[in-house]
Amino acid sequence: MKPYFSDLENKTVIVTGGSKGIGKEIARTFAELKANVVIVGRDENALHNTLVELHQYNTKCKSIQADLKDIKQVRAMVDEVAAQFGTVDVLVNNAGVNIAKPAIEVTEDDWDQVLDTNLKSTFFCSQEAATYMIPQRSGRIINIVSQMAFVGYYNRAAYCASKGGAVQLTKALAVEWAQSGINVNAVAPTFIETELTTKMFEDEAFKNDVESRILLGKLAQPGDISGAVLYLASNLSNFVTGETIKVDGGWTAI
């Protein structure tokens, strides 16, 4: 019997928002399995630093600087990946943003930034990847959504709307592309302890409230999310599509 996830070796994997936080951990985990990982983001320095780490596991890994709110850049990015590796096997739509404000204070620009990053880019990255996956009759698309797709929370009206939309988008694309051999699924994390959330959790009252809602009593780590992503990318999940795996420590169980 082959080791679990060995089928991911030499697969071409795009991870958007792959230079920091959850995305970085997902990218590193794929690279350890010798997948050809392409990380995408806006911060050139962060991309470079993460790519240096990925090259410790696979020197074929690559980074592409792009603003995924710009559809032309989305298409150019996916086309570049396909040109270099000849295939697009896995797309992880991880890029996301939240602008934490009371709903009464959310501006049109705030709304557009959150929805364009979290939902619009997820659709158009998926659409462009599918132009390569459909002819090859195989592919995995994994959307990183949030527990906030299923529950409400303070100061996250736009964010909840974007992630709820991404869950429904996951189902819609799974329905359309199943006959083309493409599995479309999502992973819905709770709050994750990363370098990007450190400042947020300096607010002790906020941190205590969050931890009180997680049945396991602690914040998730990036590795808790990458395990679910690997499962959905691998042959272990061949008969899973249109699903969202909640990695929320039990938050939504009550």
159 is catalytic: yes
Residues 6+ apart with CB under 8 A from 113: 69, 97, 99
In the sheet that holds 182-189, the strands lie side by side as: 62-65, 36-41, 12-16, 90-93, 139-144, 182-189, 244-247
Residue from 70, 62, 4, 53 nearest 33 by CA? 4
Sign of the CA dihedral with 233 first, then 164, 119, and 134 last: positive
Q: Which of the residues 57, 132, 159, 231 is marked catalytic?
A: 159
In this structure, what is the dihedral angle of CA atoms 192, 216, 235, 1, given to the nearest 10 degrees?
A: 120
The percent of the chain in helix, strand and coil, each rounded to the nearest 5, is: 50, 15, 35
Cross-strand pairs, 220: 192
133's tokens: 């996956």
* 134, 177 Cβ separation under 8 angstroms: yes
Residue-wise over 9-18: b if at least 16 C-beta within 10 A, else e?
eebbbbbbbb
Looking at the annotation, which residues are catalytic?
159
